[in-house]
Amino acid sequence: MNIIVLGLNHRSAPVELRELLAIPESRMGEALSRLIAYPGIQEAMFLGTCNRVEVYAVVERAEWGFRKLEDFLVSTHFSLSSDELLPHLYRYSDDEAIGHLFRVSASLDSMVVGEPQILGQVKEAYDMALTHQSSGVILNKLVKKAISVGKSVRTNTRIGEYAVSVSYAAVELAKKVFSNLKQRVVLLVGAGEMGKLAARHLVSQGVKEVLLTTRNHHRALDLADRFQGHAVPYEELNSVLPRADIIICATGAPHYVIAKEDIESAIHQRMNRPIFLIDITVPRNIDPGVKDVDNAFLFDIDDLKAHVGQNQEERLREAEKAEKYVQQEVNGILSWVRGLEATPTIVALRKKAEDIKHLELEKVFNRLGEISLKDRMVIEGLASSIVNKLLHGPLVTLKTEAQSQNGFAFIEAARRFFELKEQDIQVVGNEESEETEIDIIEVEEVSEETP
């Protein structure tokens, strides 16, 4: 049994290729059913986002499983050939596959390290696998743990606290000028994309009011509707400057649209209450001389990018902490998986011992003829005690050592020593339910007392 992942992401493949492999929700049930219909694929989950397409699976043999997953991805889009797809794919198995899923859930593998959306996307992928019954004992345990790891990383590190986009950096700086944004008025000048993003982030922080103005008043009205704000005629820009606590300038003008004198006048009318200004334009639309005005705090695009750069460094430092935590959790779940490998062998060994015991007891009872029920129970108890005492040491050792790095060697040795047949072991393994997991076998030392 192997855990594998096959996929591509924003680093390994262009968006055009990622788009081709996207599976709509309406087809997900069919796709997952097709995946687990492959002989040898026991469990499967599909994770698709704008930045990654990945298939997680539990398979009997890793290399065979990778080939089947490749066939599956190619078949999701008939115009895509293997030659076009295969160079972009990455393949991980067992501890690397587990570590990859944990890193994905913790947003350590995201385009923007620390972004929160991926954890919800992993949950959605898992819910889809549950709905279509393509997950089982191993994926259930693995994905639940991955979600837990993702939450813990966000709780125990500050990986998500540093803004790493220019638009959100503007919000972070605004908070340094105004500790509470809820009673602030925002003025958006122009309709540049980064300006709109900054305004959207400010709105999400609960600002009191949004004013919007552009040279195209119809455009201003449209934006006002989207932001639930108020459109201001462009000619009245200077008259509304004193009302604004935060001014975002994002026009396409090749010159200054807000002069130093305009801000000096606005500050005077505000009784020296501060104004925070963000100039997200090149060339700049706010006179740099505004920085010399008391209680005026002006940041241009370079200031914001410098702030983002510092934040990215902070996130990377937090990511290092998260990586260590993820590795600890990988080791823990890997021990569980290794232990799970031993379960079918332990079940098969106990079953073989019980079969031998019952067979030998039948021979003895046939030779003895008529005996009392008490004598029969004494003999059966003696046989059970001998079997359990003989198995106790080997089974305890096998269950313990199976979780070590060399666990497979112990499992293989036990199968050979006790002449366990592969088909018997596979049948036992396939009969297990989720409730059993590794704790299905509790090896207990039987008392010496007999009935």
Give pLDDT tens digits for 333-368. 877 777 667 777 888 888 888 889 999 999 999 998
- Top pLDDT among 327 and 342 is at 327
Output the pTM of the full model. 0.61
Q: Is the pLDDT of residue 246 over 60?
A: yes
The percent of residues above 90 in pLDDT, for the chain, comes to 39
Q: Is the pLDDT of residue 110 over 90?
A: no
Burial 349-368 (b: 16+ CB within 10 A, else e): bbeebeeebeeebeeeeeee
21 neighbors 89 (Cβ within 8 angstroms): no
Q: Is the pLDDT of residue 445 over 70?
A: no
CA 170 to chain centre: 28
pLDDT of 263: 97
For the stretch 263-319, pLDDT in tens is: 999 999 999 999 999 998 878 899 999 999 999 999 988 887 777 777 777 777 888
Q: Which of 85-94, 173-182, 375-384, 400-409 has the lowest mean pLDDT?
A: 400-409
pLDDT of 104: 94
H/E stretch holding 2 reads: strand 2-9
293 neighbors 267 (Cβ within 8 angstroms): yes
pLDDT band at residue 137 using 50, 70 and 90 as cut-offs = confident
In the chain, where the domains are located: 2-162, 166-303, 333-440
Rounded CA gap, 151 and 443, in Å? 35
pLDDT band at residue 447 using 50, 70 and 90 as cut-offs = very low
Rounded CA gap, 170 and 281, in Å? 13
Rounded CA gap, 208 and 17, in Å? 43
Q: Is the pLDDT of residue 404 over 70?
A: no
pLDDT of 286: 94
1 neighbors 102 (Cβ within 8 angstroms): no
Q: Is the pLDDT of residue 410 over 80?
A: no
CA 390 to chain centre: 46
pLDDT of 165: 64
- When pLDDT is averaged across residues 393-414 and rounded to a whole number, the result is 73
Q: Is the pLDDT of residue 236 over 60?
A: yes
pLDDT of 430: 41
Structure tokens at 212: 């919007």
Q: Is the pLDDT of residue 101 over 90?
A: yes
Task: With H, G, I as helix, E, B as strand and everything else as coil, classify residue 101.
Answer: helix
Rounded CA gap, 93 and 75, in Å? 22
Report CA dihedral (35, 94, 426, 422) to the nearest 10 degrees.
130
Q: Is the pLDDT of residue 440 over 60?
A: no
For the stretch 41-79, pLDDT in tens is: 999 999 998 789 999 999 988 999 999 999 888 887 756
- Top pLDDT among 402 and 207 is at 207
Residue 191 backbone dihedrals phi, psi, to 5 degrees:
-130, 30
Q: Is the pLDDT of residue 136 over 50?
A: yes
- When pLDDT is averaged across residues 369-383 and rounded to a whole number, the result is 90
Task: Give the dihedral sign, CA 256/257/261/267.
Answer: negative
Which amino acid belongs to residue 412? Answer: E
For the stretch 5-27, pLDDT in tens is: 999 998 898 888 888 888 888 88
pLDDT band at residue 243 using 50, 70 and 90 as cut-offs = very high
- The greatest distance separating any two alpha carbons of the chain, rounded to the nearest whole angstrom, comes to 116
- When pLDDT is averaged across residues 321-337 and rounded to a whole number, the result is 84
pLDDT of 446: 31
- Positions annotated as catalytic residues are 50
- Top pLDDT among 87 and 308 is at 87
For residue 283, is the peptide bond before it cis, meaning its omega torsion is within 30 degrees of 0?
yes
User: 166-303: CATH homologous superfamily?
Assistant: NAD(P)-binding Rossmann-like Domain (3.40.50.720)
User: Considering only CA atoms, which of 58, 44, 54 is closest in space to residue 9?
Assistant: 54
Task: List Cβ neighbours of 112 (8 Å cut-off, separation of 6 or more).
Answer: 164, 165
170 neighbors 201 (Cβ within 8 angstroms): yes
Rounded CA gap, 109 and 319, in Å? 10
CA distances from 184 to 187, 230, 268, 338 (A): 10, 14, 18, 57
For the stretch 122-133, pLDDT in tens is: 999 999 999 999
Per CATH, domain 2-162 is 3.30.460.30: yes
Task: List Cβ neighbours of 346 (8 Å cut-off, separation of 6 or more).
Answer: 395, 398, 399, 441, 443
The percent of residues above 70 in pLDDT, for the chain, comes to 88
Going by their DSSP bridges, the two strands 296-300 and 275-279 should be labelled as parallel
CA distances from 435 to 123, 137, 350, 424 (A): 21, 8, 19, 21
Residue 52 backbone dihedrals phi, psi, to 5 degrees:
-160, 150
Which amino acid belongs to residue 45? Answer: M
Structure tokens at 116: 């929160």
